[in-house]
């Protein structure tokens, strides 16, 4: 991977950085694990809410500092360690779910009017373990 570049000051400079890397929007999207439309909107400066978990992948794809990239896209207080910690917790929850946990989740799901999403499942498992 090439060395990190200087601070990117505007979203339009992201396009310049992508071109400097010799990539088209589709290639950068593959690198970042997102779709081409996301890259186009990001570079055009169109309002786009980027989940905190994707900031690190996008910054790496553009080969720019993750904290500077986060500031650029609207997260002035971004802390990459928070993402790493939440990923570690997610992995621990997924790796330690037992048959009893699954039975518990099924019993909770039966009493709900809507399907459970991943965040709800995580929260239930965390509460159950503590």
Q: Domains (ranges, CATH) in the chain?
A: 12-78 (1.10.260.40), 81-129 (no CATH)
Q: Which two tokens stand for residue 48?
A: 């786009």
Rounded to whole angstroms, the Cα distance separating 14 from 65 reads 12
- Residue 84 has what pLDDT? 55
Give the rounded percent of residues in the chain with a pLDDT score beyond 90: 17
86 pLDDT higher than 80: no
- How far is residue 40's CA from residue 28's CA, in Å, rounded to a whole number? 10
Q: Would the CA dihedral through 25, 27, 31, 35 be positive or negative?
A: positive
> Quick one: pLDDT band at residue 6, thresholds 50, 70, 90?
very low
| pTM strictly above 0.85 | no
């Amino acid at each position: 991977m090439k060395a990190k570049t200087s601070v990117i000051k505007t979203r339009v400079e992201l396009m310049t950085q992508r071109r400097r890397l010799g990539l088209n929007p589709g290639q950068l999207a593959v690198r970042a694990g997102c779709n081409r439309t996301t890259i186009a909107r990001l570079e055009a400066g169109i309002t786009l809410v980027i989940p905190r978990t994707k900031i690190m992948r996008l910054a790496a794809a553009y080969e720019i500092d993750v904290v500077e990239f986060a500031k650029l896209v609207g997260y002035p207080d971004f802390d990459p360690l928070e993402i790493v910690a939440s990923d570690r917790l997610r992995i621990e929850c997924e790796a330690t779910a037992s048959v009893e946990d699954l039975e518990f989740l099924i019993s909770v799901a039966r009493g709900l009017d809507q399907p459970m999403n991943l965040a709800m499942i995580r929260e239930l498992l965390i509460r159950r373990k503590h």
